[in-house]
Amino acid sequence: MTQVGQRPVTKALQHRLKRKREQSMLPKQDERASPLNAQEGFSRNADLDCGWGHLLFAPTFDDPQSLIDILLNEAPDRRDIAFYVRDPHVLLALAPQDVFLDPSHTYRLDLSTFRAVADPPRTFTVRRLCSEADAHAVNRIYAACGMVSVDPAFFWSKRDHRARIYLVAEDNKTGEIIGSVTGIDHARAFGDPEHGSSLWCLAVDQRASHAKIGEALTRHLAGQMAARGCNYVDLSVIHDNESAIRLYERLGFERIPFFTVKRKNPINEKLFTGKPLETGLNPYARIIVDEARRRGISVDVLDAPGGFFRLSHGGRSIVCRESLTELTSAVAMSRCDDKQVTRRLMREIGLPVPEGVKGDDEAGALDLLHRAGSVVVKPARGEQGRGVCVDIRSEADLTQAIDAAKTLCPEVIVETFMPGEDLRVLVIGGAIVAAALRKRPRIQGNGEDTIRTLIEGLSRRRAAATDGESRIPLDGETERCVKAGGYHLDDILPAGESLEVRRTANLHTGGTLHDVTQILHADIRAASLAAAEALGMPVVGLDYIVKAPEDNAFIFIEANERPGLANHEPQPVVERFLDLLFPQTLRLDPHQGGLAHA
């Protein structure tokens, strides 16, 4: 056991000594009122624009609310950082749904003991950023590293700013920029009496083959700060970045007890939501689960293959199957599930619906075909476009389509075919939150590949874009549509020619959504609200055939009790869905003066 005087240094004493050293680094309670902090040139509420966001020096703020107000006014696509936070619990209590404690460690390098390496790297050079080309290169590295991008013009305009130092590492052979780091001189930024500095945005080109680029940049910056008379260099590093922490500790950095607070935003999402859940859910359920976790709503996956999960918050618990929830009554669901009932209800409230007959009524179906010239066959119960055949013009195709639909549901509906655009309107909580045209899958000829090959290629692309949820089946319906266009699957489609390969626009069979919310005609809006109310549906997708979304000519087709909430960008449909389920997770938006979300 070692001795300090006559007193044994026990583990408990070692711990107390360590705590004492750490506490000595913290600002004292009356430090802000000290003569040093009151010296001429010291800035209150120090706020430095760094291009990627604002760096807020917390000890310069007398009022925690002022610091929170700046964080809440963070610009879009930026990352503001409140650094040197001494009492993070106070800030979090002021806006618990808006800000979070960053899971990063703060490290400090004492420049009084720092010694620069005498032998600099020979394969690359560390120097100041000195051209617009340098600025563009740094931004490229930021983007490749998943960091917040900075307008190159910002770098260039601030290159000679006294408070900022921008360094780059340049390959001696190629002249390519392979790394970058930013330094902030605190004395020049806000009159810091401690003459400190900090390191930010250390980034290295992942393609570079050189070793120790990050170390060289860090050492060079430390040398620059020491030459300026700074006493230390501080930095913030994510707690699980083991390689970076090893580098900093090898260079002599030591942890200090300061904290960082940031705004909850999409850029920071992985820092306050944790690792993504391995749920096994499909994209339509997962998009809801992800947004729920952003708001602090608890998620319990009940049946991943079926899309069932439970959401809980503040004593309220709701079981969902994708967008279908316990808020939907069995009666309302049965109205949507049976397309014949839906048609009757819509007709009663005055919505135009296509003329239809039951598929079992062979004479009635043939008569409708002869009178209309073209019909649609669909199962009375079904979803995702399964079993739906559109624009049937012959008796043989009609019989075949009815038989195919019966394999999915014994009850079949035959309706008049209405040409036009396929429109989906999403109503949530008695409000229209999105409207989108559903475009049918269409291939473009190149004069070389067969139609079959082109369809398979488009199907692969649609599957990749939707996590496998959207594919174009090479079934009888696809073959019928290709034949209707005058081709066979193994024909080569001429270059530049376009061919529609499905007559339905369901996303599951290759369709795509195109937002038209802002131009939706008032009559279609009114009809959609009336339809949702008549059905008693809190969440419903309503399908129409329209001449154009901004025109008042429309025909109601069907209602979907479990509409997909994905692919409705830029409309915040998932947010509105969770507003309905958990209104307590709403907050006031300081920018709009209305409701926004955690």
Interval 150-163: pLDDT, tens:
888 887 777 767 89
* Average pLDDT of the residues in 134-148: 82
Q: What is the per-residue pLDDT across 396-454, written as a single tens digit (0 to 9) for each?
A: 888 888 888 888 787 887 888 888 888 999 999 999 999 998 878 877 787 888 888 88
Considering only residues 509 and 58, tell me which one the structure prediction assigns the higher pLDDT.
58
Q: What is the per-residue pLDDT across 307-345, written as a single tens digit (0 to 9) for each?
A: 899 999 988 999 999 999 999 999 999 998 888 889 899
* Average pLDDT of the residues in 505-521: 82
478 — pLDDT class (breaks 50, 70, 90): confident
Does 5 score more than 70 pLDDT? no
Question: Which pLDDT value is given to residue 42?
Answer: 55
* Average pLDDT of the residues in 358-384: 78
What span, in angstroms and rounded, lies between the C-alpha atoms of 301 and 313?
15
Interacting residues of 483 by C-beta distance below 8 A, sequence separation 6+? none
pTM across the whole model: 0.53
Q: Which of 97-106, 236-245, 287-296, 454-463 has the lowest mean pLDDT?
A: 454-463
* Strand pairing report for 442-444 and 498-500: antiparallel
Does 7 score more than 60 pLDDT? no
Interacting residues of 463 by C-beta distance below 8 A, sequence separation 6+? 469, 470, 471
* Average pLDDT of the residues in 286-305: 89
* Strand pairing report for 554-560 and 539-546: antiparallel
* Average pLDDT of the residues in 473-486: 85
Does 367 score more than 70 pLDDT? yes
Half-sphere exposure of 279 (CA within 13 A, CB side): 26
Considering only residues 497 and 348, tell me which one the structure prediction assigns the higher pLDDT.
348
Question: Which pLDDT value is given to residue 529?
Answer: 97
If you write DSSP's letter for every residue of 128-191 in order, what string do you get?
E--SHHHHHHHHHHHHHTTPPP--HHHHHHTTT-TTEEEEEEEETTT--EEEEEEEEEHHHHH-
What span, in angstroms and rounded, lies between the C-alpha atoms of 383 and 379?
9
- Does residue 79 contact residue 267 with C-beta atoms inside 8 Å? yes
Token representation of residue 506: 């369901």
Question: Which pLDDT value is given to residue 211?
Answer: 72
What span, in angstroms and rounded, lies between the C-alpha atoms of 220 and 114?
11
Does 25 score more than 60 pLDDT? no
What angle do the packed helices 283-294 and 573-581 form, to 10 degrees? 70
Residue corresponding to tokens 């008693």: 536
Does 300 score more than 50 pLDDT? yes
* Average pLDDT of the residues in 226-250: 92
What span, in angstroms and rounded, lies between the C-alpha atoms of 499 and 484?
10
548 Cα distance to chain centroid: 30
Token representation of residue 31: 């430090």
- Taking residue 314's Cβ as centre, other Cβ atoms within 10 Å add up to 11
Does 4 score more than 60 pLDDT? no
Question: Which pLDDT value is given to residue 531?
Answer: 96
What span, in angstroms and rounded, lies between the C-alpha atoms of 125 and 225?
18
Cβ burial 245-276 (10 Å sphere, 16+ → b, else e): bebbeebebeebebbbbbbbbebbeebbbeee
- Does residue 321 contact residue 346 with C-beta atoms inside 8 Å? no
Q: Which of 50-54, 94-98, 440-444, 559-563 has the lowest mean pLDDT?
A: 440-444
Q: Does 37-273 carry CATH code 3.40.630.30?
A: yes
Give the 3-state secondary structure of residue 490: coil
176 Cα distance to chain centroid: 33
Does 471 score more than 50 pLDDT? yes
Cβ burial 375-407 (10 Å sphere, 16+ → b, else e): bbbbbbbbbebbbbbbbbeeeebbbbbbebbbe
Question: Which pLDDT value is given to residue 385?
Answer: 63
Give the 3-state secondary structure of residue 263: strand
Question: Which pLDDT value is given to residue 277?
Answer: 64
Torsion over CA: 332, 353, 517, 519 (sign): negative
Question: Which pLDDT value is given to residue 37?
Answer: 39
What span, in angstroms and rounded, lies between the C-alpha atoms of 413 and 356?
7
Whole-number mean pLDDT of the chain?
83
Q: Rank 77-86, 362-371, 582-591 by mean pLDDT and report only the highest.
A: 77-86
Considering only residues 33 and 354, tell me which one the structure prediction assigns the higher pLDDT.
354
What angle do the packed helices 395-406 and 476-484 form, to 10 degrees? 160
129 Cα distance to chain centroid: 33
461 — pLDDT class (breaks 50, 70, 90): low
Domain residue limits, the chain = 37-273, 441-502
Q: What is the per-residue pLDDT across 108-121, written as a single tens digit (0 to 9) for each?
A: 999 998 887 766 77
Nearest to 327 by CA among 84, 130, 577: 577
Percent of the chain with pLDDT over 90: 41
Q: What is the per-residue pLDDT across 248-293, written as a single tens digit (0 to 9) for each?
A: 999 999 999 999 999 998 788 878 876 666 778 888 898 899 889 8
* Average pLDDT of the residues in 541-562: 92
